[in-house]
Amino acid sequence: MQENIIIAAPKTHLTWQQQLSMAIRDPQALCERLGLGSDWLAGAQLGHKLFEVCVPEAYLNRIAYADINDPLLRQVMPLGEEALTPHGYVVDPLEEAEHRPAKGLIHKYANRVLLIASPSCAINCRYCFRRHFPYSDNSPSRAQWQEALDYIRSDTSIHEAILSGGDPLAASDRQLAWLVEQLESIPHLKRLRIHTRLPVVIPDRVDDVLLAWLGKTRLQTVMVLHINHANEIDQPVVDACARLKHAGVTLLNQSVLLKGVNDCVPTLAALSERLFEAGILPYYLHVFDPVQGAAHFDVPDEAAQALVKQLLDHLPGFLMPRLVREIPGKASKTPL
């Protein structure tokens, strides 16, 4: 068991659950809140029909007013382009349906499994490769988790459990603490990895209740955050990261290379610098997975490789994220 000092989360008047329940979920409200003209509304409504809008206030606060090109807005603003269906952009780009041996469990890579710990997110990112994922078929109850847990128990080659989603931290702490307790009881599991965007979207998610169960697990805990632009890291995010680090959590980041958001060298360099200031190590820079509805974010591989080559001139090696593509059927991510 790790003995770690836990820094108490600051008290604010709204809990993370209240902030989540008050998130903007209507395209008109989003346009009005951000001062976007009515020209954008029809496209926003069309995109919203395909994948609902969801943006909490804590994230909206970091978006510039009346600027359709704001890099954070581009990640959450539904557009008419989402209705286009160009060849090669599909609903399950990573072919995850092939790798589900138990409800809520994906086993694609050797030594590690992924658990869909929550079907929902605190924000709906327009480029999400799971925007069409059948969450309703993959949201196990406690009794149904037994099948996934038995699967992990029976395979001693599995050393790492990855909590994913949706966003796993959108689940209640009671549910997560229970699941982690079950995982801890499997002797061959060594590590717990949590892939989440919630500490970035609503930093108050990193509260004392979360830190209490995270800080006492015997599993080495790694949190892989998902941050695509330096503007996403404001002071509340920095404070949340400090609390996680004091609870013994290793912080890494994975970004997606997105056209119009972060596809230029100064932006990527600023992101790595800002991540490190917040105590997070850049880990992966993913090229976009070709999901239907988000082709307008795609950056061609050659352009991605050229960007990363130039980025080497601006950053020390330890701040360079690895440029990777996930190829269905491969035993690990493929470096580009």
Binding residues for ligand SF4 (CB under 6 A): 121, 123-125, 128, 130, 165-167, 197, 226
Judged by CB, which is closer to ligand SF4: 167, or 298? 167
Token pair listed for 202 = 């609503």
Judged by CB, which is closer to ligand SF4: 163, or 186? 163
Compute the least distance from the CB of residue 93 to ligand SF4, in Å. Answer: 13
Judged by CB, which is closer to ligand SF4: 186, or 194? 194
Compute the least distance from the CB of residue 76 to ligand SF4, in Å. Answer: 9
Token pair listed for 310 = 């130039």
Judged by CB, which is closer to ligand SF4: 193, or 197? 197
Q: Spell out the SS3 assignment of the chain.
A: CCCCCCCCCCCCCCCHHHHHHCCECCHHHHHHHCCCCHHHHHHHHHHHHHCCCCECHHHHCCCCCCCCCCCCHHHHCCCHHHHCCCCCCECCCCCHHHHCCECCEEEEECCEEEEEEECCCCCCCCCCCCCCCCHHHCCCCHHHHHHHHHHHHHCCCCCEEEEEECCHHHCCHHHHHHHHHHHHCCCCCCEEEEEECHHHHCHHHCCHHHHHHHHHCCCEEEEEEECCCHHHCCHHHHHHHHHHHHCCCEEEEEEECCCCCCCCHHHHHHHHHHHHHCCCEEEEEECCCCECCCHHHCCCHHHHHHHHHHHCCCCCHHHCCEEEECCCCCCCCEEC
- Sign (positive/negative) of CA torsion 240, 242, 247, 253? positive
Compute the least distance from the CB of residue 92 to ligand SF4, in Å. Answer: 14
User: Which residue type is seen at 160?
Assistant: E
Compute the least distance from the CB of residue 59 to ligand SF4, in Å. Answer: 11
Judged by CB, which is closer to ligand SF4: 248, or 321? 321
Judged by CB, which is closer to ligand SF4: 203, or 215? 203
Compute the least distance from the CB of residue 287 to ligand SF4, in Å. Answer: 15
Calculate ∠ Cα 126-112-233, nearest 5°: 40
Compute the least distance from the CB of residue 37 to ligand SF4, in Å. Answer: 26
Compute the least distance from the CB of residue 121 to ligand SF4, in Å. Answer: 3
Compute the least distance from the CB of residue 197 to ligand SF4, in Å. Answer: 4
Judged by CB, which is closer to ligand SF4: 124, or 221? 124
Judged by CB, which is closer to ligand SF4: 124, or 253? 124
